[in-house]
Structure 1
Amino acid sequence: MKKRLCWNQRTKTLILLAVAVFYLAGVAVWGLVGRESALVTDFSRKNLTPSLSYLFGTDWLGRDMLARTVTGLSISIIIGVCAAAVSAVIAGLLGVAAATLGKKVDAVITWLIDLIMGIPHILLLILISFAAGKGLTGVILGVSLTHWTSLARVIRAEVLQLKESTYIRTAEKLGHSKWRIAKKHMLPHLIPQFLVGLVLLFPHAILHEASITFLGFGLSTEQPAIGVILSESMKYLVTGKWWLALFPGLMLVLTVMLFDLLGECLRKLTDPGSVHR
């Protein structure tokens, strides 16, 4: 009975993981393929309410809001993947360096982490994005350079714990090289933490990209980004055009929740004990 329960929990986790990956990959591909349709204007169909023909309605220029929303989400997903990957690499390198290169290096990296975490997050993100010229490059740099701190702390703590473990000390006494110890004993423990941390960076990256774009410090208004869509829709809400903000906002929340679900599923699969919780 216990084995059957474990198998059911694992199957459920794998199914949820597959659904999340399928949805996110589908949105990214659909948005890239249908980018042109998101820019098409037709004044004969402007301000149409949601219907079977236009599920998310149309805006003041007659643009299909479903196509614009999916394209905006695909842009956010691509930015989130790039920014999270860069941020995770920074976190991994600095976390390992802090734990292995001595107290002075550890003190400098810890001070840098505390400094970045002490500055209001959105303010630092806006400053970096603005300094880098805004746009796609500015957003990716801003998100990448502000989201690595928490993961770096986790990896640093994990390495410090591994260094004090019995089997690492035994390997050192047996004369194994540091490279062999790191490759054979430390890396298998760090990879799951790194992958889960990487995936959990995605929702933060997507939300912050949308936030600074909404405030005017991110992507340009020519691009159908979610932040641009929500920002432009604000002045039309008072006229009763609720669908311009509702559906893009809901899709953004759904995407963020699925990335969070993806990270949780990976955590359960890489930590067998958590499947029973």
Structure 2
Amino acid sequence: MLMPKVHNRHRLWISSLVALFILVAIYFMSVWLDASGLSTNLEQRNLGPSSQHLFGTDWLGRDMLTRTIKGLALSLQVGLVAGVSSVIIASIMGLAAAIMGEMVNRIVGWLTDLFLSVPHLVTLLLIAFVLGGGAKGIIIGVALTHWPSLSRVIRAEVRQIQTAPYIAISRNFGKSSWWIATRHIIPHLIPQLLVGFILIVPHAILHEASITFIGMGLSPHEPAIGILLSESMRYLSSGIWWLALFPGLCLLLLVRAFAMLGENLKQWVDPRHAHDN
């Protein structure tokens, strides 16, 4: 039984390190790559992949590798901010529902069911449209549409923690609800919040790309992945396949790296898998 456990633990560590390497590499490459690759150069337009331009160039002679990496970094920033915002909302809602009485619990439950009854993308489109698009609209839209599922987890976890003996002992000693929440409840929620954050980020990145693809997201002047894919659709019939292939593959790689981190972390913090790792 020891060998499968060791093998599974090594697999989790290796896959997590690979995912972290991908994310760190994207960040440092976005800083390292010269912004001159984003400038127009009509003499080098529509060049295929080569040693000079690994991802080729577009119809304005811009380097697609530079545009893709800069776009991934931009999507990563939007996804991280949106994920943090969503986790904060979920934490507040979950704690309020579990601590502040039955009336607040019913209100939070009603809001949770309301947001879960509508597809994320539809609500996100409406919010982004009302806010005029852009990074602000996407971040607010993701934060307002991705908190319900995590909020349910937090609420259930808090209710379970409240039945623990040390909570009853703290109440008998006259400790306030705020003291119990900050000293006993919130520290126990950190693993769930971290896993929820990492799993929300890839959803935020994909939603940002999809909304930007249809023209309601980031500005067309920014090298966002959704914009690159949207622009490339007009040139696929001309055989300029690299405009869509490389940005699309890199987007999937980024999302998969985050999803892998989230799944591995979930196994580490889940008591049902703790003895297997």
The two structures have a TM-score, normalised by structure 2, of 0.91
Distance of aligned partners of 1:22 and 1:235 in 2 relative to their CA distance in 1, 3 Å threshold? same
Q: How far 1:240 sits from its partner (Å)?
A: 1.3
User: 2 CA distance for matches of 1:131 and 1:87?
Assistant: 19
Q: Which amino acid letter does the alignment assign opposite residue 142 of structure 1?
A: G
Match of 2:77 in 1: 78
Secondary structure of the structure 2 residue equivalent to 1:145: helix
Match of 2:91 in 1: 92
CA contact (8 A) 1:38 1:224 kept: no
Match of 2:255 in 1: 256
CA contact (8 A) 1:32 1:74 kept: no
Match of 2:127 in 1: 128
Q: Which runs of 5+ in 1 are unaligned?
A: none
Divergent runs of 4+, >4 A: 4-8, 173-177
Match of 1:212 in 2: 211
Match of 1:144 in 2: 143
Distance of aligned partners of 1:38 and 1:157 in 2 relative to their CA distance in 1, 3 Å threshold? farther
Distance of aligned partners of 1:198 and 1:34 in 2 relative to their CA distance in 1, 3 Å threshold? same
User: 2 CA distance for matches of 1:140 and 1:29?
Assistant: 23
User: 2 CA distance for matches of 1:95 and 1:180?
Assistant: 17
Q: How far 1:180 sits from its partner (Å)?
A: 4.6
User: 1 CA distance for matches of 2:25 and 2:171?
Assistant: 48
Q: How far 1:50 sits from its partner (Å)?
A: 1.6
Match of 2:189 in 1: 190
Q: How far 1:44 sits from its partner (Å)?
A: 1.8
Distance of aligned partners of 1:35 and 1:122 in 2 relative to their CA distance in 1, 3 Å threshold? farther
Q: Which amino acid letter does the alignment assign opposite residue 86 of structure 2?
A: S
User: 1 CA distance for matches of 2:113 and 2:272?
Assistant: 32
Distance of aligned partners of 1:5 and 1:120 in 2 relative to their CA distance in 1, 3 Å threshold? closer
Q: How far 1:171 sits from its partner (Å)?
A: 4.7
Q: How far 1:134 sits from its partner (Å)?
A: 1.3
CA contact (8 A) 1:135 1:218 kept: yes
Q: Which runs of 5+ in 2 are unaligned?
A: none
User: 2 CA distance for matches of 1:213 and 1:36?
Assistant: 22
Secondary structure of the structure 2 residue equivalent to 1:139: helix
* Count of equivalent residues: 276
Q: How far 1:43 sits from its partner (Å)?
A: 1.7
Q: Which amino acid letter does the alignment assign opposite residue 247 of structure 1?
A: F
Give per-residue Cα distances to partners, 1:64-102, cap 9 Å, x unaligned.
Answer: 111111110000000000110011001011111011111
Give me the identity figure in percent. Answer: 50
The two structures have a TM-score, normalised by structure 1, of 0.91
Report whether the alignment pairs 1:239 with 2:238.
yes
Give per-residue Cα distances to partners, 1:102-123, cap 9 Å, x unaligned.
Answer: 1110111111111112223212
Match of 2:118 in 1: 119
User: 2 CA distance for matches of 1:29 and 1:82?
Assistant: 19
